[in-house]
């Protein structure tokens, strides 16, 4: 009595209409996503070929447009690369004291006033203003660069590990400790030291970590690796890729930690077939024999 009946005058949508609305919304969302500017990585690495077969690198923080250079033995070449990339150099990261890695440090000091020269503890690399070891880190803009102390090739060789804040792969600058498919000579150390560096320090990094080494030695390294493990299909396939890549004039860096575990005989020194190849039962002794045989090997 006296109540007013209300009527819903909003027309009901049919199933077809609801589907059409959903499809239009999906299309609009896809268009917005397509038109969105691409996301830049927080960390970028630029490979800079120098000398005969060396690689220097720019480790770029995109947020601050600052960069560290790794082993800039040809200072003018590396500075020119930084200028092309539009970044300011704030650090030199020196993996070790050999001239083809640290020989540009004094020029970097002259040409880039205020730059910090970082090197390994006790390595006595040229112009170093800060010595580092295990557990130390350097901030390049917003990029954190950790240090692994990896002596053997030289008394204070270090490996630098850069971490991207966007969750991308770590970038590992190994100098002459770890090469793609190989490792450096034991100039100032022992098989145990190289085992510690390769297997217990560098080797435990995530498998997708990108490996940037100091030289383009990859083809010959993998040719030797194939002679040591002739039935290893991963080595054969990577060697084919390397030859095609070099024929195209491109570098074979970066590798990954995962690839090195599959193809690098020095990291694989615990594998049964390499123990048999060397006649050793101990992985460290196996590593030492592989190094001696690699040094004596000729393609």
Separation of alpha carbons 35 and 86, rounded Å: 26
* Residue 284 burial (C-beta neighbours within 10 Å; 0-12, 13-18, 19+): middle
CA distance 286 to 282: 6
Residue 27: is it exposed, middle or buried by C-beta count within 10 angstroms (0-12/13-18/19+)? Answer: exposed
Of 7, 24, 45, whose CA–CA distance to 169 is shortest?
A: 45
Handedness of CA 242, 246, 248, 254 (dihedral sign): positive
* Residue 157 near residue 151 (C-beta atoms within 8 A): yes
Active site positions, annotated: 96, 98, 100-101, 153, 176, 215
| Among the listed residues 73, 78, 64, the one whose alpha carbon sits nearest the alpha carbon of residue 95 | 73
Strand order in 171-175's β-sheet? 137-140, 143-149, 158-163, 171-175, 210-213, 255-256
Helix and strand numbers, DSSP H then E, in the chain: 10, 14
Q: Could you give the count of Cα atoms lying within 13 Å of 235 in the half-sphere of its Cβ?
A: 21
11's CB contacts (< 8 A; 6+ apart) are none
Taking residue 40's Cβ as centre, other Cβ atoms within 10 Å add up to 10
Contact predicate 87/79, CB 8 Å: no
Q: 3-state SS of the chain: helix, strand, coil percent to 5?
A: 35, 25, 40
């Amino acid at each position: 009595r006296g109540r007013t009946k209300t009527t819903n005058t909003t027309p009901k949508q049919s199933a077809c209409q609801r589907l059409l609305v959903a499809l239009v919304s999906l299309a609009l969302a896809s268009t917005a996503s397509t038109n969105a500017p691409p996301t830049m990585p927080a960390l970028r690495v630029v490979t800079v070929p120098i000398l005969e077969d060396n690689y220097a690198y720019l480790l770029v923080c995109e947020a601050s447009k600052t960069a560290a250079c790794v082993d800039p033995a040809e200072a003018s070449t590396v500075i020119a690369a930084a200028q092309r990339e539009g970044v300011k150099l704030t650090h030199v990261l020196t993996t070790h004291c050999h001239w083809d890695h640290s020989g540009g440090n004094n020029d970097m000091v002259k040409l880039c006033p205020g730059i910090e020269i970082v090197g390994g503890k006790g390595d006595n690399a040229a112009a170093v203003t800060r010595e580092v070891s295990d557990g130390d880190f350097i901030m390049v803009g917003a990029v954190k660069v950790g240090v692994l102390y990896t002596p053997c090739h030289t008394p204070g060789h270090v490996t630098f590990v850069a971490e991207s804040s966007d969750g991308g792969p770590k970038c590992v600058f190994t100098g002459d400790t770890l090469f793609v498919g190989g490792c450096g000579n034991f100039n100032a150390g022992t098989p145990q030291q190289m085992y510690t560096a390769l297997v217990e320090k560098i080797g435990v990094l995530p498998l997708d970590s990108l490996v940037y080494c100091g030289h383009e030695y990859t083809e010959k390294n993998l040719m030797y690796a194939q002679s040591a493990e002739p039935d290893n299909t991963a080595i054969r396939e990577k060697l084919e890729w390397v030859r095609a890549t070099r024929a195209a004039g491109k570098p074979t860096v970066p590798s990954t930690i995962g690839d090195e575990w599959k193809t690098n005989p020095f990291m694989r020194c615990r594998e049964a077939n390499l123990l048999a190849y060397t006649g050793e039962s101990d992985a460290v002794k196996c590593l030492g024999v592989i190094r001696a045989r690699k040094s004596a090997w000729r393609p």
